[in-house]
Amino acid sequence: MHEHNPSASPEARLASLGLTLPPPPKPLALYRPVVVSGGFAWVSGQVPLEDGHPIAVGRVPDHVTEDVARDCARRCALSALAALREELGSLDRVVRVVKLGVFVASHPEYGGQPGIANEASRVMVDVFGEEAGRHARAAVGVASLPLRVPVEVECVFEVRPA
């Protein structure tokens, strides 16, 4: 996907892309989905769930294909936006995407984490535009993730006051 209207607001761009955000995630433990502090919104790690259940489990590439992992990364990014919208009231308060941390449960010899992380990055660029959507990023291979999901994404956004 590519942004349809570079001057459109993030909420308008989201609608023009035909993207529907999932219900805002509920915390699975003792943390907040989003903390706003010092002009930044820190979104806790999001995992790919549908109706409260993982859409995939296992590590890449031995249990989960790269295509499925990319879809998981995309869903994690959309969940992060859902959590952010719930906290802020509107994605139009976002000044820019600052950083993504993308964690991929993967075989020790696997090195394709950046390609999976690109799907989460693509969501941010599509929704916030080329300038505000580009961000710093880490794409990290890990031994395992919560609920045995293959991907987890955390985000930091610069935001305007309410």
pLDDT at residue 4, as a whole number: 53
CA distance 42 to 40: 6
How many CB atoms lie under 10 A from the CB of residue 87?
A: 17
pLDDT at 5: 63
For the question of whether the overall pTM of this predicted structure is more than 0.85, the answer is yes
Q: What is the pLDDT of residue 1?
A: 45
Correct CATH for 42-159 of 3.40.50.2300, 3.30.1330.40, 3.40.50.300, 3.40.50.10540: 3.30.1330.40
Q: Could you report the average pLDDT of every consecutive run of 10 residues in the chain (162 residues)? A: 67 94 88 97 97 96 97 98 97 98 98 98 97 98 97 98 88
Tell me, what's the pLDDT at 85?
A: 97
For every residue of 88-118, DSSP letters joined together read HS-GGGEEEEEEEEEEEEB-TT---HHHHHH
* Domain boundaries defined on the chain: 42-159
